[in-house]
Amino acid sequence: MTHAQRVFSGVQPTGNLHLGNYLGAVREFVRMQDDYECIYCVVDLHAITVWQDPQALRDGIRELTAAFIACGLDPKKSIIFNQSQVPAHAQLGWVFNCVARLGWLNRMTQFKDKAGKDREKASIGLYDYPVLQAADILAYKATHVPIGEDQKQHLELSRDIAQKFNNDFGVENFFPLPEPLIRQEAARVMSLRDGSKKMSKSDPSDMSRINLTDDPETIAKKFKKAKTDPEPLPDSVEGLDARPEARNLVGIYAALSGKATAEVMKEFSGAQFGQFKPVLADLAVEKLSPIAGELRRLREDPGYIDSVLADGAERADAIAEPILREVYEIVGLLRTRGQ
């Protein structure tokens, strides 16, 4: 038996979406809608693994949902919902807590990074985060998971959990081993202030990122002030080696225009940043302003956003609940007829 192809991915509802999230993740989510059955989840249970102000969390859930829709996710085609509203995530997460091994979690590098020096003060939830992530994916028997490079290790853990569950209970192929769809390096958008750091919503400098809600003047200003080196643009892709800031701006241009990097290099070979940056800013404004406009409109209509989430949760639950029941039967928590 092969599993039907199904995509699942999640984004935390913390902070506004920026250009890096759009080019790196959400734009891919939009493209996949036509080829797969897609489930996109606002992972609010993951968000609370670190402290969240309750009102900011409520607002963040709506804001991310609105941003998903403004970027082109279609709530009729795809399932869009927030994790906490479908009980199977937490329920399957508990079963998986009893499948995953301490040694596996001890190897997770993201926990080490996020917990920092004072590991004793990290929440148990932060430690357990990747197990809940496995439950997110496998509650739907999802086969494909679009993620960034930084989530590769978590996806491998999901595969290990699926495999061990199938083996331990003698239910070969019950859970699929989900495949990562890793976004290529080209779509990796770096900070405008430091070409070696990812563009991030947690960077204290707002000048380091382009937010989806920035107005045209702000976008132009941020690109104008973006860090560069003094050399003109090279004539080949190799000429960008060891020039992280130049590579980043060229990469953003390529991603926004849909052109290959080599083509962009041909177009701008020998240009100064003083010439290139305004062209880049114009392109970014052209591509992002429809999204910003739609986002502003959706913010005025929280009733609609809430209805999308309620409908999504209902459809997600209809898939996950029967799978969870089967898990309970397999594990022995629930009797099947005749047992």
Q: Which residues are annotated as catalytic?
A: 114, 198, 201
Give the residue carrying structure tokens 């606002």.
42
The pattern of x and - marking residues 151 through 180 that bind ligand TRP according to CB under 6 A reads: x--x--------------------------
Cβ–Cβ < 8 Å for 88, 320: yes
Residue 118 CB, shortest distance to ligand TRP, in Å, is: 21
Residue 199 CB, shortest distance to ligand TRP, in Å, is: 14
Residue 137 CB, shortest distance to ligand TRP, in Å, is: 5
Which position among 7, 10, 157, 226 is part of the footprint of ligand TRP (CB under 6 A)? 10
**Sign for the pseudo-dihedral over CA of 75, 76, 78, 82:** positive
* 133: contact with ligand TRP by CB under 6 A: yes
For the chain, report the end-to-end CA distance as a whole number of angstroms. 25
* 209: contact with ligand TRP by CB under 6 A: no
Which position among 6, 18, 46, 222 is part of the footprint of ligand TRP (CB under 6 A)? 46
Cβ–Cβ < 8 Å for 135, 93: yes
* 43: contact with ligand TRP by CB under 6 A: yes
> How buried is 300 (Cβ within 10 angstroms: 0-12 exposed, 13-18 middle, 19+ buried)?
exposed
The residue among 126 and 283 lying less far from ligand TRP, judged by its C-beta, is 126
For 55-61, which contacts have Cβ atoms below 8 Å and span 24 or more sequence positions?
57/13, 60/13, 60/14, 60/15, 61/13, 61/309
Which position among 145, 189, 249, 295 is part of the footprint of ligand TRP (CB under 6 A)? 145
Those residues with Cβ within 8 angstroms of residue 206's Cβ, 6 or more apart along the chain or in another chain? none
Residues of the shown chain interacting with ligand TRP in the complex, contacts defined by CB under 6 A: 8-10, 12, 43, 46, 133, 136-137, 145, 147, 151, 154
